[in-house]
Chain A
Amino acid sequence: MVTPLRTREGGPATGRPAFRRSRGEGPFRFATTGAGILLLAIMAAIAVFLIVKAVPALQANTSHFLTEKIWTPNSTKPVFGIAALAFGTVISSFLALIMALPVAIGVALFISHYAPRRLAGVLGYVIDLLAAVPSVVYGLWGVIFLIPFMKGPSTFLNTYFGWIPLFAGDAVYGKSILTGSIVLGIMILPIIAAISREVFLQAPTSLEEASLALGATRWEMIRMSVLPFGRPGVISAAMLGLGRAMGETIAVALIFPATFDITFKVLSANGNSIAANIANGFGEATPIGQGALIASGLVLFVITLVVNTAARLIIARRKEYSRAAA
């Protein structure tokens, strides 16, 4: 009777220790395992801390946390809810993504497949540099330049495209959700472009040649070979950008109108986001108010988790096709 040797799938047998342990194996194993456990412990500690802080506030709340729009946790009879803030976070981030994604893909394709090699190098460097600009700088630029500037374009959109619900409303303001979304869009553009460029550059030459040999133009080659190959990567990049837009704090705290309404009228002086509200409110918050803000932070975490999971599902759905043989 032979006992089959048990192995990790695709790896060497680990069921039995190697017959001669090399020196350093023990400490190394201890260090890596310790690092892994430490990470989990820190995560758990943060989660416990946040929940412990949030629970008393949630218990003191006299309204329903998930559906209430008003945010007055510091009053003697605290009333607060996440509805308006979560809505503002989601709509401003999606607007930012819709504006940034096509531009980012265009920039990435230009760098990877159209620009001469020298120009591509310079452009790629500039994009990386843009990604490194601190967000407060974008926020200040938004306050000082974009808010006054947006008055004109916003009026134009409202006058001629007012029939689209997004641009409807009786009055338009520079300090609006749209302005904040534009700043967010510019902020997430570099990271989406940088990741997409990397993905597009990895498109296999054999697939590019396959379409060229069929008589494809350069754009047709990109559509047949590069974009399908890069699709999962671009989705990941977009989700990273979306996550960054949702979590962005300082820039939008400076720009958003900071009211607690749910409205699709992105040109009006209404709107806020979870992160902006935390930044604006934490300084003067009572203990209950702080707990309320922490609870809102937990909601933001859940939203980003949902978005990321959705992205993974989208990528996994076409797994059968993405197992590239070439």
Chain B
Amino acid sequence: MAKQIEVSDLDAYYGSHKAIEGITMTIEPRSVTAFIGPSGCGKSTFLRTLNRMHEVIPGARVEGKILLEDQDLYGSDIDPVSVRRTVGMVFQRPNPFPTMSIFDNVAAGLRLNGRVTKSETQGIVESSLKDANLWNEVKDRLNKPGAGLSGGQQQRLCIARAIAVNPSVLLMDEPCSALDPISTLAIEDLISKLKNDYTIVIVTHNMQQAARVSDRTAFFNLAGQGQPGKLVEMDDTSKIFTNPTQKATEDYITGRFG
């Protein structure tokens, strides 16, 4: 079930370096929210705070509050492992498990939870691969290694793997930046389809992509080298790309800097 995310006054640090500062936003369920902005502005860092992957890096920490519906993700009684089961993630480079078959890759997350029978697993793997628009291409070779697929297929395999555990939110960190235009198109079609069931957040460097797939767009920027990244403005995608409120946003989307 898709859930709403409410972020208030969030800071994230790497050691003593403050990477993002004072982020407040609401991410609506059953929609696609895109994060755009120049390199180093903290949009990927912010994305990783949404499923507590940020703190995996030694010395990294977060201050502030993120509510998933009514649940505080950084509450003292919350296990980061359970957060990551609810908030799935797809990475920049396709990263299927190289030692596993296509089937096992999709089933990997299910097996972590432990309580699934063989036939249930079979059903979920098939439906996840279908949802990821990959089933027809791999149904005859489910036992072949996932690393043998093309880059675009691997990325869809990673999406199937992420949605197999039935998350509420799907985070995508530049999911198409390592792919060719045709594979990119396949992923974008998939995103439009998946937003009916999930809350989707996507980081992208490609502004056409943000314009094509997202409902809401957030523009991040940083004042200068070594300064923390900040949220400049967030609005409906059509508004951001036609009539942004902030000058910095307009400069960025018209290509005047960044």
B-contacting residues of A (Cβ < 8 Å)?
A: 117, 204, 206-207, 209-217, 220, 224-225, 228-229, 231, 318, 320-326
| Contact residue among A117, A215, A318, A325 (Cβ-Cβ distance under 8 Å from B81) | A215
Jot down 30 A-B pairs with beta carbons below 8 A, ordered by A.
A117-B58, A206-B95, A209-B89, A209-B95, A210-B91, A212-B84, A213-B89, A213-B162, A214-B84, A214-B85, A214-B88, A215-B81, A215-B84, A215-B85, A216-B84, A217-B81, A228-B97, A228-B100, A229-B99, A318-B99, A320-B148, A321-B99, A321-B145, A321-B147, A322-B98, A325-B147, A325-B154, A326-B94, A326-B96, A326-B98
Contact between A213 and B99 (Cβ–Cβ < 8 Å)? Answer: no
Cβ of B108 within 8 Å of any chain A Cβ, yes or no, is yes
How long is the Cα–Cα vector from A321 to B98 in the complex, in angstroms? 6
Contact between A214 and B162 (Cβ–Cβ < 8 Å)? Answer: yes
Nearest CB on A from B193, distance (A) = 21
Within 8 A of A (CB), among B154-190: 154, 158, 161-162, 165
Given A215-B165, A228-B97, 17 more contacts at CB 8 Å? A207-B95, A210-B96, A210-B97, A212-B84, A213-B84, A214-B84, A214-B108, A214-B112, A214-B165, A215-B85, A229-B98, A321-B100, A322-B99, A324-B147, A325-B94, A325-B147, A326-B98
Nearest CB on A from B94, distance (A) = 7
Nearest CB on B from A107, distance (A) = 21
Nearest CB on B from A240, distance (A) = 22
How long is the Cα–Cα vector from A228 to B101 in the complex, in angstroms? 13
Nearest CB on A from B180, distance (A) = 16
Contact between A206 and B108 (Cβ–Cβ < 8 Å)? Answer: no
How long is the Cα–Cα vector from A67 to B113 in the complex, in angstroms? 54
How long is the Cα–Cα vector from A225 to B51 in the complex, in angstroms? 19
Interface SS, A side: helix
Contact between B98 and A212 (Cβ–Cβ < 8 Å)? Answer: no
Q: What 3 pairs across the A-B complex have the smallest Cβ distances?
A: A215-B85, A228-B99, A214-B109
A-contacting residues of B (Cβ < 8 Å)?
A: 51, 53, 56, 58, 81-82, 84-85, 88-89, 91, 93-100, 108-109, 112-113, 145, 147-148, 154, 158, 161-162, 165
Chain B residues closer than 8 Å to A207, beta-carbon distance: 95, 97-98
Nearest CB on A from B162, distance (A) = 7
Nearest CB on B from A191, distance (A) = 25
How long is the Cα–Cα vector from A212 to B85 in the complex, in angstroms? 9
Chain B residues closer than 8 Å to A322, beta-carbon distance: 98-99
Chain B residues closer than 8 Å to A210, beta-carbon distance: 91, 95-97, 158, 161
Nearest CB on B from A324, distance (A) = 4
Chain A residues closer than 8 Å to B161, beta-carbon distance: 210, 214
| Contact residue among B51, B96, B113 (Cβ-Cβ distance under 8 Å from A213) | B51
How long is the Cα–Cα vector from A204 to B98 in the complex, in angstroms? 11
Nearest CB on B from A202, distance (A) = 13
| Contact residue among A220, A318, A321, A326 (Cβ-Cβ distance under 8 Å from B112) | A220
How long is the Cα–Cα vector from A74 to B113 in the complex, in angstroms? 67
How long is the Cα–Cα vector from A324 to B100 in the complex, in angstroms? 10
| Contact residue among A215, A228, A323 (Cβ-Cβ distance under 8 Å from B82) | A215
How long is the Cα–Cα vector from A322 to B100 in the complex, in angstroms? 9
Nearest CB on A from B203, distance (A) = 14
How long is the Cα–Cα vector from A321 to B147 in the complex, in angstroms? 8
Counting chain B CB atoms within 10 Å of each CB, which of A210, A217, A220, A326 scores highest? A210
How long is the Cα–Cα vector from A85 to B51 in the complex, in angstroms? 60
How long is the Cα–Cα vector from A214 to B165 in the complex, in angstroms? 8
Chain B residues closer than 8 Å to A225, beta-carbon distance: 97
Chain A residues closer than 8 Å to B112, beta-carbon distance: 214-216, 220
Contact between A216 and B88 (Cβ–Cβ < 8 Å)? Answer: no
Closest to A117 in B: B58
Given A215-B112, A325-B154, also A209-B53 (CB < 8 A): yes
Nearest CB on B from A223, distance (A) = 10
Closest to B151 in A: A325
Contact between A215 and B58 (Cβ–Cβ < 8 Å)? Answer: no
Given A210-B158, A214-B161, A214-B162, also A326-B93 (CB < 8 A): yes
Chain A residues closer than 8 Å to B154, beta-carbon distance: 325
Counting chain A CB atoms within 10 Å of each CB, which of B53, B147, B158, B162 scores highest? B147
Chain A residues closer than 8 Å to B53, beta-carbon distance: 209, 212-213
Counting chain A CB atoms within 10 Å of each CB, which of B145, B148, B161, B162 scores highest? B145
| Contact residue among A117, A213, A217, A326 (Cβ-Cβ distance under 8 Å from B88) | A213
Chain B residues closer than 8 Å to A228, beta-carbon distance: 97-100
Chain B residues closer than 8 Å to A209, beta-carbon distance: 53, 56, 89, 91, 95
Contact between B98 and A323 (Cβ–Cβ < 8 Å)? Answer: yes
Chain A residues closer than 8 Å to B99, beta-carbon distance: 228-229, 231, 318, 321-322
Chain B residues closer than 8 Å to A217, beta-carbon distance: 81
Chain B residues closer than 8 Å to A325, beta-carbon distance: 94, 96, 98, 147, 154
Chain A residues closer than 8 Å to B109, beta-carbon distance: 214-215
Nearest CB on A from B46, distance (A) = 16
How long is the Cα–Cα vector from A220 to B84 in the complex, in angstroms? 13
How long is the Cα–Cα vector from A117 to B57 in the complex, in angstroms? 12
How long is the Cα–Cα vector from A213 to B108 in the complex, in angstroms? 11
Chain A residues closer than 8 Å to B113, beta-carbon distance: 215
How long is the Cα–Cα vector from A39 to B97 in the complex, in angstroms? 41
